[in-house]
């Protein structure tokens, strides 16, 4: 193999020289950026993750109303700056500001981190199994009185 720049017979490496991918020798690779070795052409195998219970439960979760305000208030209650909160959950200060203004809907993962750091609940259950269970037999005042009497 010959270097595509100087033509020298040498062990070549893939490099990006002025935006062009070339096979060059060690000396010439200095003119560009060395690229990692080409990975095999075969597509990476996609991990097939079966729907777990977690995923299913996740689908029923929705952010509570006024979540931005709740985050802001909880953060201030802890005497934390946006910067500090950002550092704790691995987000930029500007991102925290956007989340608090509800300009940006945080990912579920970020929400979980915020919940942990600020010790608040930001998810509420919507639809799904939980609500169905509750709606099977709503208790009426009559039921409550009956139950009350039984216990005496």
Q: Tell me whether residue 9 or residue 54 sits nearer to Zn ion (CB atom).
A: 9
Question: 72 and 122 in contact (C-beta within 8 Å)?
Answer: no
What CA–CA distance (Å, rounded) separates 9 from 58? 58
The answer for 18, left when phi > 0, alpha when psi is -120 to 50, beta otherwise, is left
Report in angstroms the alpha-carbon separations of 65 from 48, 75, 95, 106, 119.
Answer: 34, 17, 19, 14, 17
Minimum distance, C-beta of residue 25 to Zn ion, in the bound complex (Å): 4
Minimum distance, C-beta of residue 19 to Zn ion, in the bound complex (Å): 18
**Site residues, Zn ion (CB under 5 A):** 3, 5-6, 8, 25, 28
Minimum distance, C-beta of residue 28 to Zn ion, in the bound complex (Å): 3
Q: Tell me whether residue 3 or residue 111 sits nearer to Zn ion (CB atom).
A: 3
Minimum distance, C-beta of residue 33 to Zn ion, in the bound complex (Å): 15
What CA–CA distance (Å, rounded) separates 94 from 99? 9
Q: Tell me whether residue 22 or residue 63 sits nearer to Zn ion (CB atom).
A: 22
Q: Tell me whether residue 7 or residue 90 sits nearer to Zn ion (CB atom).
A: 7
């Amino acid at each position: 193999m010959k270097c595509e720049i100087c033509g020298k017979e040498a062990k070549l490496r893939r490099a990006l020289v002025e935006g062009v991918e070339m096979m060059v020798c060690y000396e010439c690779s200095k003119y560009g950026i060395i690229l990692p070795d080409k990975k095999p052409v075969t597509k990476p195998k996609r991990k097939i993750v079966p729907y777990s219970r977690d995923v299913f439960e996740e689908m029923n979760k929705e952010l509570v109303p006024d979540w931005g305000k709740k985050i802001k208030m909880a953060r201030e209650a802890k005497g934390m700056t946006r910067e500090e909160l950002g550092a704790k959950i691995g987000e930029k200060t500007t991102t925290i500001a956007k989340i608090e203004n509800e300009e940006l809907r945080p990912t579920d993962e970020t929400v979980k981190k915020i919940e942990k750091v600020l010790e608040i609940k930001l998810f509420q259950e919507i639809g799904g199994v939980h609500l169905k269970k509750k709606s099977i037999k709503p208790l009426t005042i009559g039921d409550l009185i009956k139950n009350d009497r039984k216990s005496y």
